[in-house]
Amino acid sequence: MAAAVLRSWGRVVLKIGPRGAACLTPRASGGLRQKSTVQFATRPDQPKLAYRKVKGKSPGVVFLPGFSSNMSGHKAEALEEFCRSLGHSYLRFDYTGCGASEGVLAECTVGSWKRDVLYVLDELVDGPQILVGSGMGGWLMLLAAIARPEKISALVGISTAADHFVTAFKSLPLEARKEVEEKGEWTVATKLNEEGSYTLSMDFLHEAENHCVLQCPIPVTCPVRLIHGLKDLDIPWHISMQVAERVLGSDVDVILRKHGQHRMGEKDDIKLIVYTIDDLIDKLTTLV
């Protein structure tokens, strides 16, 4: 497997761009890198969704960002360059209330973001897709694969946060949970944003319980790859192990990075993600 990945890696070159971003460009490319333009999907009675799309062959790749994140991160942009270099379709988007999409973040739920993902699969892409979910996006990719199995070729989870909000809240001491319930909201410390914290309402937490997947077998049979850092301070790596144990399919790999952190945005992290997707594309196209 590794040898095949390394051979295929000759198709592209990893470069370090502005702000230290890892960028993937065709080895034989001449001229400037192309970048997809932002488009907006208009939905009846729903906020507009912002997305960037590259047309190409199947299987396509769809990137699902993490909680309160957007489609402009290093991983999302690097994957676009990679897919473009191979001629495969690629789509990245912002959830409702995030990034350039319409909507109010405080009014969103796991269920509303799941609907966003299903809309993308139903209306904005064609043919089978490899879903790449980062953080909460890893949770949403599982929900999407359960709801639309015929549209999913494979899943790649990065620091997969399956059931995270619910399990994190339930792990609080009883007194702390009572205090949150009385207050009606939970402020969570984090190093992933400038504010240093984010706030979740009890309504959000109760709704999230409807979408938990770790309490029973996960009816997903497509290939699944789960990449997680052992130094992830936000989502424990054993969550990926639990997902792997519960997925019904047999083609499931867990890849642990000894020094990997939650964002998995270092150059070597992105290389590994690209290796993994490239290997899946090779496997899926060979099967066809």
Strands (E), the chain: 12-16, 22-26, 38-43, 46-54, 57-64, 88-93, 129-134, 152-158, 185-189, 197-201, 224-229, 252-257
pLDDT at 241 over 60: yes
Determine the Cα–Cα distance for residues 239 and 168; give it in Å rounded to an integer.
12
pLDDT at position 68 is 83
DSSP code at position 32: P
Q: Write out pLDDT tens, residues 115-166.
A: 999 999 999 999 999 999 999 999 999 999 999 999 999 999 999 999 999 9
CA of residue 57 relative to chain centroid, distance = 21
For residues 216-237, average pLDDT = 96
Q: How far is CA 95 from CA 69, 218, 274, in A?
A: 8, 24, 23
pLDDT at position 33 is 61
pLDDT at position 194 is 72
Q: Write out pLDDT tens, residues 174-224.
A: 999 999 999 999 998 877 677 788 899 999 999 999 999 999 999 999 999
Helices (H) and strands (E) in the chain, counts: 9, 12
Cis-peptide, bond into residue 128, ω within 30° of zero: no
Question: Residue 29 — pLDDT band, cuts 50, 70, 90?
Answer: very low
119 in Cβ contact with 43 (< 8 Å): yes
